[in-house]
Amino acid sequence: MFDQFKNLGQIAGMFKNAGRIREQLQEAQAHLKTLRASAETGGGAVKATVTGAMRLVALEIDPTMLAALVESTSNEDRHMAEDLIVGAVNAAMEKAQRLAADEMARRAREMGLPIDPGSDLTGLLGD
Residue at 120 is within a domain? no
Tell me: pLDDT of 37 over 70: yes
Number of domains present in the structure of the chain: 1
> Does any domain span residue 30?
yes
Furthest C-alpha separation in the chain:
74
Residue 126, in any domain of the structure: no
Query: Does the residue 105 lie in any domain?
Result: yes
Could you tell me if 60 and 88 are in contact, meaning their C-beta atoms sit under 8 angstroms apart?
no
CATH code of the domain containing 28: 3.30.1310.10
Distance CA 68, CA 1 (A): 70
| 123 within domain boundaries | no
- Confidence at 121, pLDDT banded by 50, 70, 90: low
Indicate whether 25 belongs to any domain: yes
pTM (predicted TM-score): 0.67
* CA terminus-to-terminus distance, the chain: 40
Q: How many CA atoms within 13 Å lie on the side-chain side of 44?
A: 2
Looking at the domain assignment, is residue 104 inside a domain? yes
